[in-house]
């Protein structure tokens, strides 16, 4: 069976994702769509709006055949590590092709990546008043003439770099990101596709009616029926403040990504008088030209989860394929690759696994539950979702523009 691989967060699952799945099938003629999806926390260091099971189910009911969790130690990372982790998993899962969005889909990203400077070269040229990403982009532009600034281009480029670095045999298919109104935070009348960030913003503001046309019913239902982390900051901040108050700066200094004495700054601001009143004002106070918002938020996530550098480095050496769900076709594909798959295939997590390899995902799940006030456990004893082909939603053909 031919499999096409997608790297996703589905935060939340929306019509643009259905379009992505449909295009992936059309472009590659694949028999199954295999998805690697961030778990309960996403790349920006935030809790996913809905838990990984809810998001996996939405995908499986809308054209995806197999969902595997991108472990926390790969998911909550800058784009080059995020992409490398995702490509490692997709390659282990035997996909022959990858399809992803890009603001410049005509670019040959493999060619671009082969000419690109190394991460280390990027670090060498970074000065005190810029982020690593902008230093790297400037260096890349000098070398190749290509301006790497759009978010999907950056991911596309990162996938290509990862494919080269890992030496895997995966064909890359960038598809054009949809035009105006897609990436920004407005909704157009008659529009059926909007960006995940604009949907999150509408949810944050409580404007449920705005998103009715741009998400499938399964997502609408999740908002009204289930646990979610819309406005997660209200629960995130007391816990973070508590940890910054009670841990020593020595302990905070061991946290993953707590670089350049940042722990002193975080503790001083959190403990300052009168001190920040909310997560938003805290993150505003700690922002600097040196770090992006996402980088800062990831560091705060690792602080909250109390993940030390050594734990993280050990975890990253030991990836696995955690199956969240499949359709009949996905299950058939899993059986086909089972014997040759190069990473451990995990479909059930017990207390031993939760304490060993899957420790970070397990802790992240517990934290997600706290933020969402959800009682249902996220890992131990949960079984993969199995979606029968007969139960699949009739896939709407997404119509672009109006």
Binding region for ATP:
7-20, 101, 152, 177
> Interface mask (CB under 8 A) for its own copies, residues 376-395, using x and -?
-x--xx--------------
Q: Which residues are annotated as a binding site?
A: 7-20, 101, 152, 177
> Does position 293 bind its own copies by CB under 8 A?
no
Which residue, 121 or 374, is less far from its own copies as judged by CB? 374
Q: What is the closest distance, in whole angstroms, from the C-beta atom of residue 246 to its own copies in the complex?
A: 4
CA angle, residues 218, 210, 212, in degrees to nearest 5: 25
Q: Cα–Cα distance between 296 and 314 in angstroms, integer?
A: 22
Q: If you search the block for the tokens 């014997």, which residue do you land on?
A: 339
Neighbouring residues of 206: CB distance < 8 A, sequence distance ≥ 6? none
Contact 305, 367 (CB under 8 A): yes
375 lies in the binding site for its own copies (CB under 8 A): yes
Residues of this chain, 58-87, that bind its own copies according to CB under 8 A: none
Which range, of 22-30, 46-54, 271-279, 317-325, touches its own copies by CB under 8 A? Answer: 271-279
**One of 363, 368, 372, 384 touching its own copies (CB under 8 A):** 363
Interface pick for its own copies out of 145, 225, 274, 390 (rule CB under 8 A) = 274
CB 326 within 8 A of CB 66: yes
User: Least distance to its own copies from the beta carbon of 145, Å?
Assistant: 46
Q: How far is CA 236 from CA 133, 233, 259, 280, in A?
A: 27, 5, 22, 11
Number of amino acids touching its own copies (CB under 8 A): 23
Among 44, 173, 183, 366, binds its own copies (CB under 8 A): 366
Q: In the chain, what is the straight-line distance between the N-terminal and C-terminal CA atoms, in Å?
A: 36
Single out the residue of 242, 323, 269 nearest to residue 35, CA to CA. Answer: 323
Half-sphere exposure of 365 (CA within 13 A, CB side): 20
Task: Considering the complex, state which of residue 108 and residue 234 has its C-beta at the smaller distance from its own copies.
Answer: 234
Helix (H) or strand (E) holding 112: helix 109-115
Number of residues that this document lists for the chain? 402
Q: Which of 120, 127, 225, 273 binds its own copies (CB under 8 A)?
A: 273
CB of 233 vs its own copies, minimal distance in Å:
15
State the binding string over 231-270 for its own copies (x if CB under 8 A, else -).
-------xx-xxx-xxx---x-------------------
- Between 144 and 377, whose beta carbon lies closer to its own copies? 377
State both tokens at 366.
């517990």
**Minimum distance, C-beta of residue 351 to its own copies, in the bound complex (Å):** 9
**How far is Cα 371 from Cα 231, in angstroms, rounded to an integer?**
9
DSSP assignment letter at 397: P
Identify the three-state secondary structure at position 19: helix
Binding site residues, its own copies, CB under 8 A? 238-239, 241-243, 245-247, 251, 271, 273-274, 304-306, 363, 366-367, 370, 375, 377, 380-381
């Amino acid at each position: 069976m031919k499999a096409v691989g997608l790297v996703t967060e589905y935060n939340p699952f929306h019509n643009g994702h259905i379009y992505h799945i449909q295009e992936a099938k059309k472009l590659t003629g694949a028999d199954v769509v295999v998805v690697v999806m961030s778990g309960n926390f996403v790349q920006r260091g935030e809790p996913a709006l809905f838990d990984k099971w809810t998001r996996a189910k939405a995908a499986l009911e809308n054209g995806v055949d197999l969902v595997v969790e991108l472990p926390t130690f790969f998911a909550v990372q800058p784009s080059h590590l995020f992409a490398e982790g995702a490509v490692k998993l997709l390659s282990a899962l035997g996909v022959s092709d990858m399809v992803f969005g890009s603001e410049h889909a005509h670019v040959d990203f493999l060619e671009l990546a082969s000419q690109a400077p190394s991460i280390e070269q990027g670090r060498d040229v970074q000065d005190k008043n810029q982020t690593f990403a902008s230093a790297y982009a400037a260096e890349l532009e000098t070398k190749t003439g290509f301006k790497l600034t759009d978010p999907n281009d950056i991911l596309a480029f990162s996938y290509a770099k990862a494919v080269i670095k890992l030496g895997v045999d995966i064909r890359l298919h960038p598809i054009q990101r949809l035009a105006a109104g897609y990436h920004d935070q407005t909704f157009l009348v008659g529009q059926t596709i909007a960006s995940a960030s604009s949907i999150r913003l509408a949810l944050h503001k409580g404007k449920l009616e705005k998103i009715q046309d741009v998400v499938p019913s399964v997502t609408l239902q999740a908002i009204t029926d289930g646990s979610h982390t819309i406005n997660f900051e209200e629960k995130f901040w007391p816990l973070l403040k508590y940890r910054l108050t009670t841990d020593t700066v020595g302990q905070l200094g061991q946290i993953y990504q707590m670089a350049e004495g940042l722990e002193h700054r975080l503790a001083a601001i959190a403990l300052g008088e009168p001190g920040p009143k909310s997560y938003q004002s805290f993150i505003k106070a700690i922002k600097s030209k040196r770090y992006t918002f996402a980088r800062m938020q990831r560091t705060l996530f690792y602080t909250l989860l109390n993940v030390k550098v050594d734990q993280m480095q050990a975890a990253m050496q030991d990836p696995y394929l955690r199956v969240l769900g499949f359709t009949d076709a996905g299950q058939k594909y899993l059986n086909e690759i089972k014997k040759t798959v190069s990473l451990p295939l995990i479909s059930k997590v017990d207390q031993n696994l939760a304490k060993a390899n899957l420790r970070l995902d397990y802790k992240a799940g517990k934290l997600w539950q706290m933020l969402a006030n959800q009682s249902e456990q996220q890992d131990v004893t949960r079984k993969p979702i199995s979606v029968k082909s007969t139960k699949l939603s009739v896939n709407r053909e997404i119509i672009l523009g109006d």
